[in-house]
Structure 1
C-alpha cells in the first residue's frame, strides 16, 4: 500500500460519522481485550477450581502459563492468514474457537483437561488481538494509528481493573464453571458485533502469495533491523511488566504486609497510570512523532526499572517508594507499545497481519520469560523482580535507540 493509499484511508476514516467511530472503537477494544478478560475474569476462582478439581498445589497456575504460550504461538499462525484472506473471516473463526475452548473449560473434569482447553481458548483469542491491531493499520496512517492504538489500549485497560471483581461476583452467585460460560457468551456476542464492521483489507491490498511462502517470510522479517528494534522494545518491556505482575502479590502482601484489599487498590492505581499515559501519548504523537515518543517511553522504562531495583535493594521509601517506582514503570506502556506497533506496521503495510503477529509473539513470549525468571530466582524478597525490571527497561531503551539509529541511517 502506498503512502497515498495510507493518507486516503486516514481521510476516509476521519470523515465517517462520530457514532460509527464510537461503534468501531467499542468493537476493536473488545477484540483487543480478549487477552485480559480470558484470564482476569477467572483469577478469583482459582482456589475453588483447585479444590473442586482436586488439583495438586500449583497445578491450576499452569492454566495461565499454558494460555500465554498458546496466545504467543497462535499469533504467528493468524497473522499471514489475515494478510491473505482479509481480517474479518479469520477473526470470526478465532472467536468460534474461543467459544469452543471456553465451553471445554467449563466442562472440564480435571485440571489437565482445563489446561488443555485453555490452550484452545488462547489459540482462538489471539486472532482477535493480532488482527484488530492490523485493522487499525488498515484504517489509519502511522501517527494517527498510534493515536488510535493509545485510545484502544486506554479502553481495554478497563478489563484488568474490573475483570477480577466481575469474576468474584459471578462466583458469589454461581460456580466457577459459570465464569467460563460467561466467556463463551462474550465470544458469541462479539462474533455478532464483528459482522457490523466492514472488511478493512481490500482484496487488491491482500498478500496473494501461497501461505507456505507467507509463513516462511517470518525469517525475512526477523532480518530487518528496525522491525527487530520495535519488537525488542515491546518484548523487553513486557518481560519487566510480567515480572511485576507475577511477583507483585508477594511483594506487596507478603513482604510489605499490605492487605489483599489494599493490594488490589495499589495494582489498580498502576493501571490508571497506564491509561493516563496512553491518553497523553494520543495527544502528543501528532506533534512529536511515534518514534520520538517511543524513545522517551523507553528511557522512562530504563530509569524507573533501575529505580525499582535500587528501591528493593535499599528499602528506601518503604512500601510507598516501591509502589511509586513500579507505577511509573508500568505507565511507560502508554508511550512504548502503541508507538512500537504503529511504527512496525507502517513499515510493512502489505504484511500488517504477519508483523502484528510477530510483535505479539515477542510481547507475550518475553512476558513468559520475565515472569519465569522472577519465579525461578525467587529468594523471599522482591529483589529478583527488581533486577528483571531493571534489565528489561535497559533492553527496551537499547532497542528503541536501534530504531532511531536505523531510521537516521536510512534517511542519511
Structure 2
C-alpha cells in the first residue's frame, strides 16, 4: 500500500477524532452561548456518536454494492455541508441535529477506510497498516484540541466548525484525485436488498463480533475520557482551553508512539498474540487511574500518569482487534466493517452517557467507567482468542 493511500485513509479515519476533539475546548463557551450547562452540551457529542453508529450500517452495504469511491464521496460532501450547518447553529437543538448529520457523513471515511485496507492486505499486513493509520490519525487528537482552543480564543466557537468544513473539503479533493477504486471487480456486487440478511449472518460470526466488541469496549474507555476530560481538566482543575489542548495532545502523542511500537511487535507475532497481552496493560493502568481519582489529588499530574498509559495501550489493542475481526471478510468487507464500527460506537456512546449520568463534580465517574471498560476488554479478548484457538484460526 502506497504512502499516499495510507495518508488519505488516515485522514478519512480521522474524521471521527477531528469532529470530536476539535470542539472539546469549546464546551464551556458553547454552554454560555446557548444559555445551558456543559452536561447539556455533551448531548451534541452523544448525537454525533449516535449518527456514527447508524451511518456506518448504511455505508457498509453501499460499499459492497457500488464500490468504495462513490459512497465515500457522497459521505464527505455531506460532512462538509453539515459542518457549515454547525457553524451557523442558532440554538443547542440546531447544533445537536447538525452534529448528527455531520456524523452521518463523516462515518463514510471510517467504514470505507477499513474496507480498503481489507481489500489490499492480508490479516498481518492489515494490522501493520492499521498501526500506520494510527500515526496519521494520532496527529488529529494532538492538533485538534490545540487548534480548536486557538481558534476559539481568536475567532469564536463558529470558527471551529468552519475549520472542520475546510478539512472535509481537503479530504474530498484527495479522494477525487488519488484514491482509486479498490474493490476487486472479480467480487460479486452484493445486492442492497440482502443487506439485513448479511448483517444477520455477520452477527452470528463469533470471531467478527468477539474481536469487534473487544475493540469497541476498549474504545468506550477512550470516549469516556473524551466526554469527561473537558469538565475534569477545565472546570475541576482550572486548566485553560489552550492548555487543555496540550494535555490532550500529550495523551495522543503516547497513542502515536505506541502504535508504531505495535508495528514493530507484529514482526515477531500476529495481532491476536499481542491483543491478549496488551489488554492487561490497559486494565492495570485503568485501575491505577481509579485509585488515584478516589484520592482527589490536588495537583493534576498523579491523574495524568495512569491516564497516559491507559490511552497509549489502546493503540495496540484497537488495530490488532480490528485486523482480527476483518480477517476473512473479503466479499462483504464493507458490511463487516460497518457492523463492527456501528457496534463499537454504540458501546462508546453508552460509555459517554454513563459518565454524564454519574457526574458528581469529581474525576471519579470518568475513571470508574474507564476501569470497567478495561476489565471487560480483558474478559472479551481472552474468550475470543480462546475460541479462535479452538477453530485453529488464531491470527
* TM more than 0.5: yes
| 1:197 alignment partner in structure 2 | 179
Change (3 A) 1:180 1:252: closer
| 1:26 alignment partner in structure 2 | 7
| 1:407 alignment partner in structure 2 | 388
Pick from 57, 69, 94: which aligns with 2:50? 69
Change (3 A) 1:110 1:250: closer
Contact 1:238–1:370 (8 Å) recurs in 2: no
Q: Does 1:130 align with 2:130?
A: no
Q: Does 1:79 align with 2:60?
A: yes
Q: Distance in 1 between matches of 2:371 and 2:380?
A: 14
Change (3 A) 1:140 1:99: same
Q: Does 1:57 align with 2:37?
A: yes
| 2:327 alignment partner in structure 1 | 346
Deviation of the 1:194 alpha carbon: 0.5
Larger Rg over CA atoms: 1
1:77-100 Cα shifts (integer Å, max 9, x gaps): 111111121111110010111122
Unaligned runs of at least 5 residues, structure 2: none
Change (3 A) 1:322 1:147: same
Contact 1:150–1:334 (8 Å) recurs in 2: yes
| 1:96 alignment partner in structure 2 | 77
Change (3 A) 1:86 1:364: same
| 1:274 alignment partner in structure 2 | 255
Q: Distance in 2 between matches of 1:259 and 1:171?
A: 12
Q: Does 1:290 align with 2:271?
A: yes
1:84-119 Cα shifts (integer Å, max 9, x gaps): 211111100101111221222233332222221111
Q: Distance in 2 between matches of 1:260 and 1:311?
A: 24
1:31-62 Cα shifts (integer Å, max 9, x gaps): 1111122233333444554555x443344332
SS in 1 for 2:359: coil
Deviation of the 1:253 alpha carbon: 5.1
Q: Distance in 1 between matches of 2:257 and 2:150?
A: 27
| 1:357 alignment partner in structure 2 | 338
Contact 1:144–1:286 (8 Å) recurs in 2: no
| 1:149 alignment partner in structure 2 | 130
Change (3 A) 1:342 1:378: same
Pick from 360, 372, 382: which aligns with 2:353? 372
Deviation of the 1:182 alpha carbon: 3.1
Contact 2:211–2:381 (8 Å) recurs in 1: yes
Q: Does 1:238 align with 2:219?
A: yes
**How many pairs align?**
391
| 2:92 alignment partner in structure 1 | 111
Deviation of the 1:127 alpha carbon: 0.4
Change (3 A) 1:333 1:313: same
Change (3 A) 1:253 1:122: closer
Contact 1:234–1:336 (8 Å) recurs in 2: yes
Which deviates further from its counterpart, 35-44 or 217-226?
35-44
| 1:182 alignment partner in structure 2 | 163
Unaligned runs of at least 5 residues, structure 1: 1-12, 14-20
Deviation of the 1:141 alpha carbon: 1.1
Deviation of the 1:316 alpha carbon: 8.3
Change (3 A) 1:284 1:315: same
Pick from 297, 320, 342: which aligns with 2:301? 320
Change (3 A) 1:177 1:264: closer
SS in 2 for 1:349: coil
Deviation of the 1:357 alpha carbon: 1.2
The TM-score with structure 2 as length reference comes to 0.91
Which deviates further from its counterpart, 100-109 or 293-302?
100-109
Pick from 280, 288, 297: which aligns with 1:307? 288
Q: Distance in 2 between matches of 1:43 and 1:254?
A: 13
Contact 1:86–1:203 (8 Å) recurs in 2: no
Contact 1:233–1:298 (8 Å) recurs in 2: no
Q: Distance in 2 between matches of 1:238 and 1:259?
A: 26
Q: Distance in 1 between matches of 2:23 and 2:299?
A: 31
